[in-house]
């Protein structure tokens, strides 16, 4: 069981512990996204920045001088080792913004040192590592939440509300067409669109649709003019146990009429349809009625990273378990893994299949690591995610 209210026991952290005050956090990973997280923490009253860590010598210190106001700098501990900085800084929680390959170790180490973790997506580099982290969270009883920031868009919540008024989302169709020239690792990935971008749409689809995903069929391809080495385009169909279906089609090599970064969404419900362009408030059109706009977000609404951080801190102060607590988030990574497998084999892939294989591999990882035996009680991959 996850004990969200269990405070860090380290005596050195006693000075910062307060069941009602802002949560003292260390940001681990001071790269591009780490800097965005540092700004987010500095601007959010629910948290206080007490440390920055990066394995690259000097990177944490550079982030402090670049981003932290001068009068706050002396209160921010820096270094290359997370455990040391977190202890010296009397942190209560860790934000893991390292590269995906480091997520498993950084997060598992923090959980076992007693720190709840808010981790950037993806949960881990592989589905097996993600399942293993669910086990580490169970073993330690600490909260591990994955920040899948695009699900925290108030327009998406409004889209869900409008769809519910019309009988609930039955078919969700996402179109995503962009033409970014990133350079770097995405240009070399085998499945840049599915793994690095469509994961957000798969996760947002889960916000709109009730139930759990069951199976995925995917085709991945690379337009002849594409500047990516791997497949920059894909069509993915995800079926849910409620009978709802989410289709995603998109390309990262699509110059011309581009969609928003959230994509363009059409939702078909029993009594009408909802459309969201990914940027403006959604619109609803009831059967036989006029199209009408959804509500604009409240001025105090929290968005994306800021919303993730608020939800995480609230959970540590007695609030509800976040929907993206690791067990909830692993489903999204399982959709990605199933889509990649389907694209490679040409067959429909069950989530039960990829999750059971991941569970076997995660048990091997945990056996070698020696710190977590929680997965030994999971009967199947799916039951482990649904019964904690
Ligand atoms: N939510 C989003 O929209 C979004 C956007 C971009 C990136 N991300 C995610 O954010 C994470 C970081 O991405 P990025 O673009 O900042 O990468 P990056 O390469 O710019 O930065 C990663 C940093 O982590 C450091 N690092 C690596 N291993 C470490 C370890 N063991 N301990 C401490 N520091 C370590 C590196 O030195 C580097 O400075 C990734 O998981 C990525 O998928 C999310």
> Residue 244: pLDDT above 70?
yes
> Residue 15: pLDDT above 70?
no
pLDDT over 70 percentage in the chain: 95
pLDDT over 90 percentage in the chain: 93
Pick the atom of ligand 1 nearest to 305's CA.
1
pLDDT class of 45 with cuts at 50, 70, 90: very high
What is the rounded distance in angstroms from the CA atom of residue 309 to the CA atom of residue 329?
A: 16
Task: Note the pLDDT of residue 19.
Answer: 57
Phi, psi dihedral angles at 222 (to 5 degrees): -130, 115
Mean pLDDT for the stretch of residues 92-121:
97
pLDDT class of 128 with cuts at 50, 70, 90: very high
Report CA(28)–ligand 1 centroid distance (Å): 9
Tell me the pLDDT tens digit for each residue of 130-180: 999 999 999 999 999 999 999 999 999 999 999 999 999 999 999 999 999
Average pLDDT, whole number, for the chain? Answer: 94
Q: Is the pTM of this model over 0.85?
A: yes
For the CA atoms of 341, 333, 31, 315, the dihedral, rounded to the nearest 10 degrees, stands at 180
The two tokens of residue 327 are 């067990």
Task: Note the pLDDT of residue 143.
Answer: 98
Tell me the pLDDT tens digit for each residue of 345-363: 999 999 999 999 999 999 9
Report CA(101)–ligand 1 centroid distance (Å): 9
What is the rounded distance in angstroms from the CA atom of residue 382 to the CA atom of residue 384?
A: 5
Task: Note the pLDDT of residue 20.
Answer: 73
Fold of domain 11-150+308-316: Rossmann fold (3.40.50)
Three-class HEC string of 246-296 = EEEEEECCCCCCCCCCCCEEEEEECCEEEEECCCCCCEEEECCCCCEECCC
> Residue 123: pLDDT above 90?
yes
Report CA(29)–ligand 1 centroid distance (Å): 6
Closest C-alpha among 114, 99, 171, 188 to residue 144? 114
pLDDT class of 388 with cuts at 50, 70, 90: low
Domain spanning 154-293: CATH 3.30.360.10: yes
Closest C-alpha among 74, 78, 76, 65 to residue 24? 76
Task: Note the pLDDT of residue 5.
Answer: 39
Pick the atom of ligand 1 nearest to 149's CA.
1
Domain chopping of the chain, boundaries: 11-150+308-316, 154-293
Task: Note the pLDDT of residue 9.
Answer: 37
Pick the atom of ligand 1 nearest to 30's CA.
39
Task: Note the pLDDT of residue 256.
Answer: 98
> Residue 3: pLDDT above 60?
no
Tell me the pLDDT tens digit for each residue of 311-342: 999 999 999 999 999 999 999 999 999 999 99
Query: Do 128 and 333 contact (CB within 8 A), yes or no?
Result: no
Mutate to test the pocket of ligand 1, among 27, 28, 31 (most ligand atoms within 8 A of CB): 31
- Whether 154-293 and 11-150+308-316 are alike in CATH topology: the answer is no
The residue ranking higher by pLDDT, 9 or 57, is 57
């Amino acid at each position: 069981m996850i004990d969200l209210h269990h405070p860090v026991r380290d005596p050195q952290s006693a000075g910062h512990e307060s069941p009602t005050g802002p949560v003292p956090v260390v940001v681990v990973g001071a790269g591009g996204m780490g800097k965005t997280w540092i700004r987010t923490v500095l601007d959010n009253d629910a948290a206080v920045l007490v440390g920055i860590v990066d394995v690259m010598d000097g990177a944490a210190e550079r982030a402090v001088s670049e981003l932290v106001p001068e009068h706050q700098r002396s209160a921010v501990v820096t270094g290359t080792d997370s455990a040391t900085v977190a202890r010296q800084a009397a942190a209560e929680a860790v934000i893991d913004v390292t590269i995906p390959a480091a997520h498993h170790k950084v997060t598992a180490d923090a959980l076992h040192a007693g720190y709840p973790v808010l981790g950037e997506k993806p949960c881990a580099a592989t589905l097996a590592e993600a399942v293993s982290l669910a086990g580490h969270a169970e073993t330690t009883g600490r909260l591990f939440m994955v920040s899948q920031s695009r699900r925290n868009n108030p327009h998406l919540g409004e889209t869900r509300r409008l769809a519910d008024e019309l009988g609930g989302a039955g078919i969700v169709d996402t179109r995503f067409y962009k033409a970014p020239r990133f350079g770097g690792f995405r240009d070399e990935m085998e499945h840049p669109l599915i793994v690095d971008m469509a994961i957000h749409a798969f996760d947002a689809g889960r916000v709109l649709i009730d139930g759990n995903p069951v199976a995925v069929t995917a085709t991945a391809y690379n337009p002849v003019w594409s500047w990516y080495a791997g497949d920059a385009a894909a069509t993915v169909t995800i079926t849910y146990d409620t009978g709802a279906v989410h289709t995603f089609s998109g390309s990262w090599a699509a110059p011309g009429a581009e969609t928003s970064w959230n994509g363009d969404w059409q939702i078909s419900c029993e009594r009408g349809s909802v459309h969201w362009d990914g940027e403006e408030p959604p619109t609803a059109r009831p059967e036989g009625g006029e199209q009408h706009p959804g509500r604009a977000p409240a001025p105090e609404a929290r968005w994306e990273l800021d919303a993730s951080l608020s939800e995480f801190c609230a959970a540590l102060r007695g609030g509800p378990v976040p929907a993206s607590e690791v067990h909830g988030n692993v489903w999204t990574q399982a959709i990605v893994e199933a889509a990649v497998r389907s694209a490679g084999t040409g067959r429909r892939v069950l989530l039960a299949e990829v999750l059971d294989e991941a569970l076997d591999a995660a048990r091997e990882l945990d056996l070698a690591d020696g710190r977590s035996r929680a997965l030994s009680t999971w009967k199947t991959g799916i039951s482990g995610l649904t019964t904690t």
